[in-house]
């Protein structure tokens, strides 16, 4: 049993210091044990690998017995309300007790303890390393389907600006492609199909289907390691938000196509999920295609 009075702020400050002074590579993941002599690293910081990110460091990792805390740190850029962009280090620590703390570099270069760092990928990763549950999903899977469609629309529109017609835009919707109807649905039908998907495939079902797909692709690995809440946030964060995507599409597609897309997205969001649940086996496997890694 640990005899050192461990605090989340202490561990976060340590991770921040390691990342700032260059004694460890960035991004950084630390597994910490507290004992009578202080803090001990259970494993040395990983070597730098080109393209490595925080998810690469954490994905699939389960802290060993005796690990009292996990911390992650990474460098980045911040843009203050007034002034020029600056380099910062953000470090987050989580104890097995559930307490957490976050440090960020302030505009003077010193570490600043945040009062409330909120949620996000790093807190989710730390909780999963310690096999702790994360907050439940905030958004339904219908939002994922809509964002996946917007991502496809942006790719197609960027390839041929000004050329995407309404029927072509609707044909790129995952519901249209999964069901192979042979004709283009209306925006109303696709909004209803998005609603049906959210009812039939809540995040628990969607994650299970991605996990069952197997393989070494990142989505399958993440589905097996994340819980429902962390998986939902990670999947959604990989895709453009509706507001950002629609603003970009306004510069790339004709007004008629944009009206169809906007109507579909807005109605699907308004419908929400009801209690008339469909059976999981009514879904075509093509529904479960994620964005490219």
Render pLDDT for 48-61 as a digit per residue (tens, 0 to 9): 444 478 898 899 99
State the pLDDT confidence band at 24, using cuts at 50, 70 and 90.
low
3-state DSSP of 230-288: HHHHHHHHCCCCHHHHHHHHCCCCCHHHHHHHHHHHHHHHHHCCCCCCCCHHHCCHHHH
What are the backbone angles phi and psi of residue 52, rounded to the nearest 5°? -70, 140
> Per-residue confidence at 25, pLDDT binned at 50, 70, 90?
low
Residue 4: which pLDDT band, with cuts at 50, 70 and 90? Answer: low
Gap between the Cα atoms of 177 and 184, Å rounded? 10
Nearest alpha carbon to residue 262 among 190, 202, 175: 190
Locus of tokens 């993941």: 29
CA dihedral 4, 8, 10, 12 (to 10 degrees): 140
Q: Mean pLDDT, the chain, as a whole number?
A: 83
Q: Per-residue pLDDT for 119 more than 70?
A: yes
pLDDT tens-digit readout, 165-214:
999 999 999 988 665 444 557 889 999 999 999 999 999 999 999 999 87
Question: What is the average pLDDT across 39-44?
Answer: 73
Q: How far is CA 49 from the centre of its chain?
A: 21
d(CA 63, CA 128): 9
Supply the pTM of this predicted model: 0.84
The average pLDDT across 111-139 equals: 91
């Amino acid at each position: 049993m640990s005899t050192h009075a461990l605090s989340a702020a202490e561990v976060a400050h340590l991770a921040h210091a390691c990342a700032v002074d260059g004694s460890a590579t960035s991004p950084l993941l630390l597994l910490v044990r507290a004992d009578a002599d202080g803090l001990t690293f259970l494993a040395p910081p990983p070597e730098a690998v080109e393209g490595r990110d925080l998810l690469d460091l954490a994905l699939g990792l389960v802290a060993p017995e005796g690990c009292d805390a996990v911390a992650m740190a990474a460098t980045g850029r911040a843009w203050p309300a007034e002034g020029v962009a600056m380099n910062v280090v953000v470090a987050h620590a989580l104890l097995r007790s559930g307490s957490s703390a976050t440090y960020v570099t302030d505009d003077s270069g010193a570490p600043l303890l945040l009062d409330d760092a909120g949620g996000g990928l790093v807190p989710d990763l730390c909780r999963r390393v310690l096999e702790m549950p994360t907050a439940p999903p905030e958004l339904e899977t219908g939002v994922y389907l809509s964002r996946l469609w917007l991502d496809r629309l942006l790719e197609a529109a960027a390839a041929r600006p000004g050329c995407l017609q309404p029927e072509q835009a609707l044909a790129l919707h995952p519901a249209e492609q999964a069901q192979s109807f042979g004709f283009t649905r209306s925006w109303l039908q696709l909004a209803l199909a998005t609603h049906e998907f959210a009812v039939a495939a809540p995040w628990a079902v969607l994650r299970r289907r991605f996990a069952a797909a197997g393989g070494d692709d990142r989505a399958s690995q993440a589905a097996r390691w994340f819980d429902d809440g962390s998986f939902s946030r990670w999947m959604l964060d990989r895709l453009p938000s509706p507001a950002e995507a629609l603003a970009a599409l306004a510069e790339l597609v004709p007004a008629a196509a944009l009206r169809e897309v906007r109507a579909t997205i807005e109605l699907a969001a308004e419908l929400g999920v009801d209690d008339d649940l469909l059976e999981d086996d009514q879904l075509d496997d093509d529904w479960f295609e994620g964005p490219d890694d």
